[in-house]
Structure 1
Amino acid sequence: MRSETLPNTAIPVLETERLILRGNRVDDFPALAALWGDIAVVRHISGKPFSPEECWARLMRYVGHWALQGYGFWAIEEKASGRYVGEAGLADFKRDLTPSLDGTPEAGWVLASWAHGKGYATEAVRAVVNWGAEEFGSTPLACIVAAENKASIKVATKCGFREFTRTTYKGGETIIFRKEAGK
């Protein structure tokens, strides 16, 4: 029997004043499923809660992205309590989107509804963007936000993203933001 080692298996841990961003673990699944099953969380993403099966596939995708691409999404923990806050990171989702974002690291974030309004998303995304600047050098970053998601638009702007264009994604008006390297 032969075996192969995947090239990128180490996931860096990022710390902010109030948060720890770490690799996803199997024991995150109940909190992750609760997060993605909450209509208040997903109303600007899919408009409907995700099933446990879809959440499990998401967890596996996050781990696989790190292994195959060398970057991905982190689980976010509240430092003071250890409570699961949500997730944030960078990915190449190969979205069916015009203009294409293929090859551009795309920032994303989603937080449990109890964590909304505390500044956690901005804090986590800043850590992700700073890591991305070191990791990707001169490569710009992108993120997409539903046009009606005012809170995430504010997070993107606070983290240095600027509106690049508007498009339609999965039937909804979507803003593509870019963050040029070094800005």
Structure 2
Amino acid sequence: MILGPTLTAERVTLRPPRESDFDALCAFGRSEERTRFLGGLADANAQWRTLLADIGHWVLRGYGLFSIEVSDTGRFVGRAGPIFHHHNDEPELAWHLFEGFDGQGFASEAAAAARDWYYDQTGHGPLMSWINRDNHASQAVARRLGAVPERADRTASGHEGHIWRHQKP
């Protein structure tokens, strides 16, 4: 079954999630640094449920997180794309990278490609991103994407952040 398209940007390829992503997701889930803004550490069982949820999101909504691969190596380096969780009022553009891939522009490039695809395919928008107030790296990505902080927000679990608004290109 094909869940969604494969998108090609300058240096990254975005593809739907697949079972072979599991080991990299497990390594990601074991990193306190990588997961601190995403709810904390996650064991293999939690990462399996995450993978299933990612696939299910594509089936349910017709869009979701893409797996990001570096185009010239095929290395799976993170995820980016539009998601619409039951607790949100609107779809969110989300991204995260695995250890060792920060600071190379992969998140910005992948998120921009996923955002533009979403707008082209659905006609909906503009998307938002909820970013923790201490997540300076994601705030920098949002700025590079042209997003602006719209308002302060607090999650049901008490995390403080901001809603960042992405304009349609």
TM-score (norm 1): 0.86
- What code does the residue aligned with 1:167 have? D
Whole-angstrom CA distance in 2 between matches of 1:44 and 1:72: 19
**CA–CA distance in structure 2, aligned partners of residues 137 and 172 of structure 1:** 31
Partner in structure 1 of residue 46 of structure 2:
54
Distance in 2 (CA, whole Å) between partners of 1:44 and 1:116 is 15
Name which of 19, 28, 31 aligns with 2:21: 28
How far does the alpha carbon of each residue in 1:105-141 deviate from its partner, in whole angstroms, 9 at most, with x for none?
A: 2111110011011111111111111112212325221
Amino acid in the other structure paired with 1:137: G
Shift of 1:77: 0.8
Letter in 2 for 1:58: T
Letter in 2 for 1:45: L
> Aligned-pair distance for 1:157?
1.6
Gaps of 5+ in 1: 1-7, 96-100
Provide the rounded CA distance (Å) in 2 between the counterparts of 1:168 and 1:112: 26
**Contact 1:19–1:79 (CA under 8 A) maintained in structure 2:** yes
CA distance in 2, matches of 1:138, 1:24: 23
Deviations 1:140-182 (A, max 9, x none): 21110100111100101211221111121222211111223x3
2:9 alignment partner in structure 1: 16
1:162 aligns with 2:135: no
**Which residue in 2 is equivalent to 1:3?**
none
Partner residue, 2:123: 137
8 Å CA contact 2:3–2:55 kept in 1: the answer is: no
Tell me if structure 1 keeps the 8 A contact 2:15–2:66: yes
Q: String of CA shifts for 1:45-67, please: whole Å, max 9, x gaps.
A: 22x31111111111001111111
Q: 1:136 to 1:162 in 2, by over 3 A?
A: farther
Q: CA RMSD in A?
A: 1.5
Residue equivalent to 2:166: 179
Shift of 1:44: 2.3
Contact 1:36 1:49 in 2 (8 A): yes
1:71 to 2:57 alignment: no
Rg larger for: 1
Structure 1 segments, 4+ long, off by >3 Å, are none
CA shift for structure 1 position 27: 1.1
Following the alignment from structure 2 to structure 1, what is the Cα–Cα distance between the partners of residues 163 and 111? 16
Q: How many residues align?
A: 168
Q: Which amino acid aligns with 1:120?
A: F
Give yes or no for contact 1:89–1:107 (8 Å, CA) kept in 2: yes
Pairing 1:143-158 to 2, within 5 Å after superposition: 143-158=129-144
